Amino acid sequence: MGVGIEVANLNAWYGTNHTLQDISLNIPANRATALIGPSGCGKSTFVRCLNRMHETNPVARVTGVVRIGDVDIYTDTTPVEIRRRVGMVFQRPNPFPTMSIYDNVAAGLKLNGYSNRRHLDEIVEKSLKNSALWDEVKDDLKKKSGASLSGGQQQRLCIARALAVDPEVLLMDEPASALDPVSTSKIEDLIFQLKSQYTIVIVTHNMQQAARVAEKTGFFLNGRMVEFDSTHKIFTNPSDKRTEDYITGRFG
């Protein structure tokens, strides 16, 4: 089951660059929340702060509080632990090139020392079914490399890989921006199904996509969150002039 995320006064710096300024919002459990805004506005940095992925960059620094469920992710836990609870799907599909399809999905469990073969088989099948890839790959699970799949299939493989460790939250950083329209719509259908079980945060440049999949939408601009409201409100009657300008295509 998904859990909600509370963010309070989150600030982030890359070196001296203040990329996120005083972000506070509540992301609801078991819903899809979209983050929109022009390139460089801090959306990607924001989602990276939700599973402490920003720490892989040595010059990154963060202040503020992020609570996922009832855990303060910066004080109560380790990056390794929080990343198991908060899965991530990246902009470009990044399957492990040397691993079979099966091993890609099982990677999160296997690399953490889990080796019950029968249970792994079940989890791999379930995850691939949940990511709508099972029927396309079930015959070459252990024969083909993850890198041999098409771009759209690779991205669904990456989603399956993230689901296999049974996270509560799924962060998606422009998951469809490198994909063709057919693959994109498959990913969107998937998000629609997955949000009953997971809390989904999706960064997107595609505003129709945000409107289609998300209940809530946040608009980011220059490191600040301008507006956060129901998707319907954001796209039909935004309270801030800048939001309106952005969604109507007047800038950005």
Partner 1 sequence: MDTLAKEFQMRTRIRGFIDHAATGLAVLSTLLVILPLVAIFVYLLIKGARSVNLDFFTQIPKPVGEAGGGMANAIIGSATLLGVASLIGIPVGIGGGVYLAEYGRGTKLANAIRFTADVLNGVPSIVVGIAAYALIVMPQGHFSALAGGVALAIMMVPTICRTSEEMLHMVPHSVREAALGLGVPSWRSVLSITLKTASPGIITGCMLAFARVAGETAPLLFTALGNEFWSTSLNEPIAALPLQIYVYAISPYDDWHRLAWAGALVLIVLIVLAVSLVRYVTSRGVLKGAS
> Is residue 10 within 8 Å of 207, Cβ to Cβ?
no
| Degrees, nearest 5: CA angle 138-143-148 | 85
**Residue (48 or 67) nearer to partner 1, CB:** 48
Residues interacting with partner 1, by CB under 8 A?
A: 51, 53, 56, 79-85, 87-88, 90, 92, 94-100, 107-108, 111-112, 140, 143-145, 147-149, 158, 161-162, 165
Minimum Å distance from CB 200 to partner 1? 15
Minimum Å distance from CB 148 to partner 1? 2
**What is the sign, positive or negative, of the torsion defined by CA atoms of 197, 199, 203, 205?**
positive
Whole-number Å distance between alpha carbons of 11 and 206: 25
**Residue (36 or 165) nearer to partner 1, CB:** 165
Structure tokens at 219: 């608009």
Minimum Å distance from CB 29 to partner 1? 20
**Residue (154 or 184) nearer to partner 1, CB:** 154
146 bridge partner residues = none
Whole-number Å distance between alpha carbons of 25 and 225: 9
For residue 206, count other CB atoms closer than 10 A to its CB.
Answer: 15
Minimum Å distance from CB 226 to partner 1? 28
**Residue (3 or 149) nearer to partner 1, CB:** 149
Dihedral angle over CA of 75, 9, 44, 181, nearest 10? 110
In DSSP notation, 204-252 reads -S-HHHHHHH-SEEEEEETTEEEEEEEHHHHHHS-SSHHHHHHHTTS--
Minimum Å distance from CB 46 to partner 1? 15
Amino acid at 216: K
Minimum Å distance from CB 139 to partner 1? 12
